[in-house]
Amino acid sequence: MIDVNELRKGVTFELDGKIFKVLEYTHHKPGRGKATIRTKARDLRNGNIIDLSFTSSDRVQDIRLEHHEVQFLYSDDEFYYFMDLGTYEQPAIRKDVLEEYALYFKENMELKLTIYENEPLDIELPTAVDYEVTKADPAVRGDTATGVTKKVTVETGLQVETPAFVEVGDVIRVDTRNGGYVTRV
């Protein structure tokens, strides 16, 4: 068991038979009474994001997770399929659980898979990934007084705000934490 005051972004815990990963954490201490800990957490089994509130004396069940290096293989109507680089097993995770990562997946991309009691739950993307630009609007000449940006679409369908000089066929690096342009490769 862990104290709820130890919950931070990225911490995984079990509550009422469900496994949650903390996305946001706030600690509120009123003038009198106990502190309130508010979290926004994702249920790792079904992908739902819910708000959880605790008093400072509450405790939740800590869980131990395994992390495996995997490679993204393909997806179908219901699942994303990965290959464990150590055992060559092919675990699958339901699409609705990983929908926020969908536009970052690229064939043969290496990721970290989170497993709890032989059940694949979550993935961790690399911090930056290189993508080829497949669609880019033409840049407007003369508008250079401020940092000129435009939206481009990369090979996975992800739209990224980039500088005006990025063209179709360029390879750009994208930060997977915020979806932002990093550099042209």
pLDDT, position 146: 66
DSSP letter at 179 equals T
pLDDT, position 131: 93
Low-confidence residues of the chain, pLDDT below 50? none
| pLDDT, tens only, 6-32 | 888 888 899 888 999 888 989 888 877
Query: How far separated are the first and last CA of the chain, in Å rounded?
Result: 46
pLDDT, position 174: 93
pLDDT, position 154: 93
How far is the CA of 85 from the CAs of 11, 53, 112, 147, 180, in angstroms?
Answer: 25, 39, 10, 42, 29
DSSP letter at 31 equals S
DSSP letter at 77 equals S
User: Quick check: helix, strand or coil at residue 21?
Assistant: strand
pLDDT, position 172: 93
pLDDT, position 142: 63
Domains and their CATH numbers in the chain:
2-62 (2.30.30.30), 66-124 (2.40.50.140), 128-184 (2.40.50.140)
pLDDT, position 2: 86
pLDDT, position 82: 93
Which of 182, 174, 181, 178 is CA-nearest to residue 129?
A: 174
How far is the CA of 59 from the CAs of 4, 21, 43, 77, 116, in angstroms?
Answer: 5, 15, 18, 39, 20
> What's the rounded Cα separation, in Å, for the pair 63 and 14?
7
